[in-house]
Chain A
Amino acid sequence: MSATRPVPHQQKSAAFEYLTTRKDEFVGWARKFSLFPYPFVTACCAMEFMSVSSTLYDTDRFGAALPRFTPRQSDLLMVVGTVSHKQAPVLRKVYEQMCEPKWVIAFGVCATSGGFYQNYAALPGIDKIIPVDLYIPGCPPRPEMVIDGIMKLQDKIAGERHPIINQDF
């Protein structure tokens, strides 16, 4: 609207005055473009994670680029790589330190199911100890798959219920 042409008071355009939406839809829309990932990066998948989060593939386009290096400030836990039994208590603690709402991505086949590590050392999938929202298979997954995964997670967040007050609060 140009400043040089004053609008008569009686003729306000109604389109910009108010907007109706459902609360869950609105909060979901806001949240899905504002993901703060915490990269729990343990193994070779990290290379692909660097690739997907830097300029060429650029997860910033999906609002999920700025990694927080404390779980307390993040709402998306990306478990990137093999998790051993020795690390499992750490992963569990990191998950518990994150505030609600939070989502978890298992990045790569190791985090998803342990992959080809079926032995004394490796945890066969992080969903054995924490809930997972999205699994991205591949060893390591292609950046396109990761982006597809992030978009699927965004769809999921957009379609979720977003209680302002939940049972814990």
Chain B
Amino acid sequence: MAHGILVLQIAAESLMPVAGRLKQEFGFDLFLDVTATDWPQRRPRFDVVYHFYSTRDFVRVRLKTRVEEADPTVDTLVTLYGSARYMERECHEMYGIRFRGNDDLRPLLLYEGFVGHPLRKDYPKQREQPLVPYRDVKR
């Protein structure tokens, strides 16, 4: 338990079976979000965090799994929840997590040509990648 929510810490391989059981047997029918947490000092570096909600029992559950920086890959959940498609796209562009089986990982909020993953801790805070060249501003 953390912050009043049941938290399940699982291995990356067992993500699909666990999520499937949560949906089929425990009635967690609403996929709320997938995001990641970056721990630059830790190995493995990333947590991938899922939230599910049950519209029958009005409870939430959080799933956490750890992935390495060298191979930040987890299975996609689009076969269980169609909405995972978009959330995984966002998580992919912001953190560089790859979702095996999601064939549409184009940028969602960012744009084509953006280099890097802005929500990783090592992305320089001030680094901009403008699409329109700046004018010479004389103030």
Contact = CB atoms under 8 A, between A and B. Distances in A.
B129 interface: yes
Contact of B128 (A92, A124, A129): A124
B129 A131 contact: no
A127 B123 contact: no
Given A86-B110, A119-B118, A120-B118, A128 B130 contact: yes
B137 A120 contact: no
Nearest to A120: B118
Nearest to B110: A86
Interface string A79-108: 000000110110010000000000000000
Interface in B80-126: 109-111, 118, 123, 125-126
A85 B128 contact: yes
B56 interface: no
B42 interface: no
Contacts of A88: 130-132
Contacts of A119: 118, 125-126
B134 interface: yes
B135 A129 contact: yes
B126 A129 contact: no
B129 A127 contact: no
A134 B135 CA distance: 17
Given A119-B118, A120-B123, A128 B131 contact: no
Contacts of A118: 125-126
Nearest to A93: B132
A120 B131 contact: no
B104 to A, nearest CB: 18
Nearest to A129: B132
Contacts of B131: 85-86, 88-89
B23 to A, nearest CB: 33
B137 A128 contact: yes
Contact of B135 (A85, A121, A124, A127): A127
Contacts of B123: 120
B137 A86 contact: no
B3 interface: no
A123 interface: yes
Closest 3 CB pairs of A and B: A120-B118, A88-B132, A128-B134
8 contacts: A85-B129, A86-B131, A88-B130, A88-B131, A89-B131, A121-B109, A129-B132, A129-B134
Interface of A: 85-86, 88-89, 92, 118-121, 123-124, 127-131
Interface of B: 109-111, 118, 123, 125-132, 134-135, 137
